[in-house]
Amino acid sequence: MGTLSREDMQSIRNIYCVGRNYAQHAKELGNDVPAEPIVFLKPSHAAVPLDGSAVEVEGKRGAVHYEVELVLRIGDRYEPGVDPDSIIDGLALGLDLTLRDVQSTAKSAGLPWLSAKGFPSSALLTGWQEYPGKQALYNREFSLKRNGQEVQRGSASQMLFHTSELIRYIGHRFGLDAGDIIFTGTPAGVGAVEDGDLLECFLAEELLGSCRIALQR
């Protein structure tokens, strides 16, 4: 189980995240399935490694939900016409932690999601793996276990907007360059964490990273 080095952490630039990219997840939260990618940002200092240690998480503002995701690392600048696969230089699993009550309030008021998505330790990451290419990635399932019980499972083949579409969309609308990472969306099965929970992230049944949740109340 590899972990992020200090150099890996310092090299992260923008953290792009994609919402509602799995139809069943959108439905479980009562959201419409989007016609185009929903993209939001987390601060780069929200990133922490899934290295087996305890992670202190905001717990005073309502439920904190786990969302396991495939994460892409960009290794070169996006230019129109580039093959999206050619600028991906790493793959990881991540946990997009979400203050769900705060997000629901923001959505109902038409406000940005930053307060619900960008708090400290809200972007947890395993160590980087070699990116296998789009077709190989579609055949690999990823999953999350909470206290030894599987709670989420999915694969890139279930995405509404696949990796190439996401890179073209984000690259065209916002720009992409080396050091940017993309959380690509979560499958169904999200839920609230409790203090002391053990969260374990698996890719093709291999454990890539874990943490113990320490809720701060």
| Dihedrals phi, psi of 28, to nearest 5 degrees | -65, -25
Q: Show pLDDT as tens, one digit a residue, over the chain (217 residues).
A: 788 888 898 899 999 999 999 987 767 777 777 899 999 999 999 999 999 999 999 899 999 999 999 999 999 999 999 999 999 999 999 999 999 999 999 989 999 999 999 999 999 999 999 999 999 999 899 999 999 999 999 999 999 999 999 999 999 999 999 999 999 999 999 999 999 999 999 999 999 999 999 999 8
> Edge-to-edge strands of the sheet including 141-146?
51-58, 206-216, 198-203, 141-146, 149-155
Gap between the Cα atoms of 69 and 210, Å rounded:
13
Give residue 112's identity as a one-letter amino acid code. P
